[in-house]
Structure 1
Amino acid sequence: MMKHDLALWNPFLRKLVWIKPSTCFTTSDYYGIGYDLKKSRYDYKILRFTDHRYDDHNASYDDEPEVEVYEFKTNSWRTLAAEADWAVDLTCKGGAVMGNMYFIASKDDEQYILGFDFSIERFKDVCFCPPPAFNNYLACFDGDRLSLLQQDEKEPWNSVVWVTNKLADVDVLFTKYFNVSRPDVPALLDHTDMAHPVYFIGEHKRIMAWSEVEVGEDDDKFPPTCIIFYEIDEGGVRRQLKTERHYEAGYYGTFLCGYVYVPSLVSLPE
């Protein structure tokens, strides 16, 4: 029987716990993890918001997402009366920085960074995004900032990396960090049915990215896929590593092809 619980995993400690939903989990859920900066860093919380506007034909587009917070010290969910007059970018996962979560969202045709402060349990507008690109990827940068990797679907060899100043500053802005314009740079999202790529910015302006690609023949009904690791800098692809092939009878893969995390000795709640 399939388990419909939320998994919390610490790969460094090789520990896994299951969290039951308040009602149910759906394919329209977005998640984030963080903690109250005013209290202990070990009092972790999980953010969950569900936006049915994209998959529920009976719902109005004006319906606001449901927002919940799970608190580990009480082992319970709480519903928040949050005003959610935005739409989160479906193609871009959130990023966790210094105990808070950040997402790419849009409102009134403007694209910007939406933050969730776990200390006060409220959403906040952080800053506007650079001019929009077809594919946007968000990540933590240098421990207390955000990076944004933009890649054009039709011209993937043109990639731009933007970074913010410290998120704790009064005014947060994106500035261009570097760009890559080399013909050997691949599209990190092979097509929309593939798992979305993940990345981080390493030393010496290097993009460390993981991407799912099809590796079968053109006439394969269900071609095998694999995860490829790319190391890319302003000179192009410096390193490329391919994993084992993975076969699926139809697409039932994960939404993301991996996760980037900092090893932690914080034990999971029992």
Structure 2
Amino acid sequence: MVEKSVEKSLLSSREISVSSKTKTLDESSTHSDQNYIPEDLIEMILARVPVKSVFRFKLTCKDWMNLFTQQRFIYKQLKVSQRRLFLHVRGSGVWKFDLETLQYSRIQDFGEEIGSISHCDGLVVFSASSYEPSTKTLSRKLAIWSCSEGVCAWIPRTGLSFYDFYTLGRDSKKSYRVLRFTHGRHDQGDFEPEAELYDLQSHHWRSVEIEDDWVTLGNGNFGVVSIETRSYWVAATEEGKYFVQSFDFGEECFRAIDLPKSIALQQARERDDEKTVALSPMGDQKLCILYQLADTTEIWITQVGDVVNWEKYMVLTRHPLIPKNPSFLIMQKRITLFCEEVTDNGTLAKIKLRQIAQASFEETEIAQYRYDRSTRSCLYAESLVPVP
């Protein structure tokens, strides 16, 4: 109902604005038109409506069609929009959990099992298993997908390894690239680390330098976050010390970021199965890290960029353990977690939404299904960014 009301109001404002443009100079100079709505105000309103409504508005008039395809408006909408979803990959299907309607529904089935998923600016890169009947073998393939627009483009590439990691990012000129890296192609007898970039405009791959002195945590549940021109994920040194690894798509280089000192000291003394470490974007220019040990959870934030200064944002105690590799969102001193719990006998999975604040804890079971494989999830921002 709210969306239809907004749509009706915007269509009316478009008629008012167009009619006001037809007035003569004499008419506009003799009196002000109370029905006139400035174009910048209309644009500001349009940037805040749901993306699916914007796609419908493209057919309203040529002015709006042109506006919605301008890079300036596309990234303005991405910046001001507060609408966030959780995407959940189960086998070959992608499911969406809407935080506003609390609806959990399947939105796409790609027919082949999805192995990883990474999000940037409303675009998603994912890998999928592809069976080759001629050789009777499984191989990997990559795709770029817009959940908002429903458009998918497969990336031409053969010989991908099941041990590869992928993340999507862009440089300062809004040129999108896929980073592929691996610490060893064990399925092909090659144990040398390698990394390469795929440019979505030139459609070419090229190698980049990578050092073999760290490993990625999470394996198939690779939890990566892309903010501005960098991607971030949790990694560990050969000695087992956690840190945040990043990749700069502008400089095309890896960069290690130390954890806050208190976290670094705690994690060095505890086993991996006794703690949870996860990353999430906060707004459009901040990175936050969630660290849970026993019943205490710390949230730290930092502005993204060359200088990293971690600040403790909040500390929560006395709530249940957070499962490994959660996707989460932080707003107004409140953690919203999308997580999955598998029953003790390993046959049933329960998808849950947890909302944790200083003095409250709420848990809602969204769905349950027969569990037969690991799943992946990520926080997703609806946007107008087209598939390159």
> TM tier, shorter chain?
0.7 to 0.9
The residue aligned with 1:34 is 169
Partner Cα distance (2:145, 2:337) in 1: 22
Flag the structure with higher helix content.
2
Per-residue deviation, 1:103? 1.9
- RMSD in angstroms over aligned alpha carbons? 2.6
1:69 to 197, 218, 239: 197
Say yes or no: does 1:143 pair with 2:280.
no
Bigger Rg, structure 1 or 2: 2
Give the 3-state SS of the residue equivalent to 1:47 in structure 2: strand
Per-residue deviation, 1:25? 3.3
The answer on whether the counterparts of 1:189 and 1:212 sit within 8 Å (CA) in structure 2 is yes
Partner Cα distance (1:32, 1:20) in 2: 16
The residue aligned with 1:264 is 383
Partner Cα distance (2:328, 2:374) in 1: 19
Partner Cα distance (2:223, 2:367) in 1: 25
CA gap 1:8/1:159 in 2 versus in 1, 3 angstroms: same
The Cα offsets for residues 37-90 of structure 1, whole Å up to 9 and x where unpaired, read as 1x2x1x21011111238x67967xxx5521111110122322223334222223
Give the 3-state SS of the residue equivalent to 1:186 in structure 2: coil
Partner Cα distance (1:77, 1:234) in 2: 47
Q: How many residues align?
A: 239
AA aligned opposite 1:81: E
1:55-66 correspondence runs (5 A): 64-66=192-194
Give TM-score scaled by structure 2 length: 0.56
CA gap 1:21/1:252 in 2 versus in 1, 3 angstroms: farther
The answer on whether the counterparts of 2:183 and 2:212 sit within 8 Å (CA) in structure 1 is no
Give the 3-state SS of the residue equivalent to 1:200 in structure 2: strand
**Larger RCO: Structure 1 or Structure 2 (Cα < 8 Å, ≥ 6 residues apart)?**
2
The Cα offsets for residues 197-253 of structure 1, whole Å up to 9 and x where unpaired, read as 1112112x11111110135xx6x5x4211210111111131x3222222113xx323
Say yes or no: does 1:231 pair with 2:362.
no
Partner Cα distance (1:212, 1:71) in 2: 34
Per-residue deviation, 1:179? 0.9
The residue aligned with 1:125 is 256
Partner Cα distance (2:236, 2:160) in 1: 27
AA aligned opposite 1:117: D
The answer on whether the counterparts of 1:127 and 1:173 sit within 8 Å (CA) in structure 2 is no
Percent identity between matched residues is: 25
- 4+ long deviations beyond 6 Å: 55-59
The residue aligned with 1:189 is 323
Give the 3-state SS of the residue equivalent to 2:211 in structure 1: coil
Give TM-score scaled by structure 1 length: 0.78
The residue aligned with 2:314 is 178
AA aligned opposite 1:201: I
The residue aligned with 1:17 is 153
The residue aligned with 1:193 is none
1:75-154 correspondence runs (5 A): 75-90=203-218, 93-107=223-237, 109=239, 110-129=241-260, 130-131=263-264, 132-133=266-267, 134-152=275-293
Partner Cα distance (1:233, 1:21) in 2: 45
